[in-house]
A and B are shown apart, each in its own frame.
Chain A
Amino acid sequence: MSTGTNPGNVRRGSALALFTATVRREFLLSFRRKSDLANPLIFFVMVATLFPLGVSPEPDFLAQLAPGVIWVAALLATLLSMDALFRSDYEDGSLEQLLLSPQPLFVLVLAKVAAHWCMTGLALTLMAPLLALMLFLPADGMAGLLLSLLLGTPTLSLVGAIGAALTVGLKKGGVLISLLVLPLYIPVLIFGTGAVQAAVTGLPLAGYLALLGALLALALVLAPVAIAAALRISISS
């Protein structure tokens, strides 16, 4: 039955190669357009810097607000960066080629989201201790902050990518993404700040982290399928 090329044989070994090739391409693209790379980070720092000026520089007061401020700033910074995830690929036609690949789309979108997370979520997590110091977060809370961001931001990227995939065909998708995705971000925010507050007050963290981990596992399994389906719909119209 099979004539010509036999993709089945070629494919099996190459899913990992495809993943690394796509991640490498995304990294290259980001480092050639450094403004895109810096934007969410600058936003993150600005919110945390302006907050004490706007409310009160009182250390006790700021220490109470710190978990929420850092988490909200990280969430909004991620949300702002989401729109660009598929936009440029859509505009220059790369997205069509991506969808016409015989390779599993699951792997491709997962690679794109993973690269995106390294550039936003992971970078935000690494910057968070600095902001936590600025906002007088007690040293006990630092581990909780880092762990909760490390578990929470990948979920934000995965869920945000569904919104980005659904709105990529629209001229002004930016606002719509926020409306679609924000409700789904709320559980992550609640458990994330909860974890930090628990760490500050010396309560056990495990429960919050387990819930964040469960959300991440769920997103990791379901989101790539949803992203792939959403991209097919967006490109089909």
Chain B
Amino acid sequence: MSKPLLEVNRLYCERDDRVLFSELEFQLSAGEIMQIEGQNGSGKTTLLRILSGLSLDHEGEIRWRGEPVAAVRERFCAEMLYLGHQAGVKAALTPAENLRWYAALQPACASADIPLALERVGLRGYEDVPCHALSAGQTRRVSLARLYLSRAPLWILDEPFTAIDKQGVAAKEKLLREHARRGGSVILTTHHELAIDGPVRTINLDQRAGTSA
């Protein structure tokens, strides 16, 4: 049994005097897909932001490959891909320019793969169109193209399927499955029924709320 990639111990978080979750513990091993469930406002996005290291407003411990995340931050950032609520796509830039900058941020991404990644998300022919001329779903696809560029083992995806059509969702589900088969792990939130053949672990945040003593 290999060491878990990500290990969460006794995570506690409250917002506006409301306990979102407490004593949250789980481990994520290579090849696992984990879905965070919960109603709107149950803290799914907050949890993902904490796991990615964006939000520091929490108690508890998060370990990456057995070491505290804060101590190995640089390595953790290089091995993690975070796709947030906002697409992180600049409207004034074209899809290719957006991805090129992303590839500069993440050294593990090769900018030579950008045309291929755009083709795989169905944006072939839109490489030189500014993103403000694209539809909401297409803008989201620009963001999702990062999944095809990245070689990071851990993906943290916040509502990745928003505004994506059925074929697109099916393609992304296939991608997640392939990623897990290659030994990668995924943590995601979605209100969409996942149709991934293979085990998907779920954590329901609704049951966690208010469980503090």
Residues of A participating in the B interface, judged by any CB pair closer than 8 Å = 2-5, 7, 10-11, 14, 17-18, 21-22, 25, 28-29, 32-33, 88, 91-94, 96-103, 108, 232, 235-237
Contact = CB atoms under 8 A, between A and B. Distances in A.
A230 B151 CA distance: 30
A24 to B, nearest CB: 8
Contacts of A29: 90, 92-93
B75 A7 contact: yes
Contact of A96 (B80, B84, B108): B84
Interface string B77-114: 11110101111111111000100111011111000000
Interface size class of B (residues with CB under 8 A): 35 or more
A125 B3 CA distance: 58
Given A28-B93, A92-B88, A93-B84, A99 B107 contact: no
B77 A101 contact: yes
Contact of A100 (B65, B82, B104): B82
B74 interface: yes
Given A93-B88, A97-B88, A236 B104 contact: no
A14 B152 CA distance: 18
B86 A21 contact: no
Interface string B46-72: 000000111111000000010000000
Given A28-B93, A100-B77, A100-B82, A14 B107 contact: yes
Contacts of B88: 92-94, 96-97
A152 to B, nearest CB: 30
A22 B52 contact: no
B88 to A, nearest CB: 4
A102 B104 CA distance: 10
B151 A5 contact: yes
Nearest to B55: A236
B155 to A, nearest CB: 12
Nearest to A26: B101
Q: Which of B104, B106, B152 has the most CB of A within 10 A?
A: B104
Contacts of B52: 100
Contacts of B84: 93, 96
A103 B101 contact: no
B86 A91 contact: yes
B87 A7 contact: no
B135 to A, nearest CB: 16
B153 interface: yes
A119 B87 CA distance: 27
Contacts of A21: 100-101, 104
Contacts of A103: 105, 107
A7 B86 contact: no
A7 B100 contact: no
B6 to A, nearest CB: 13
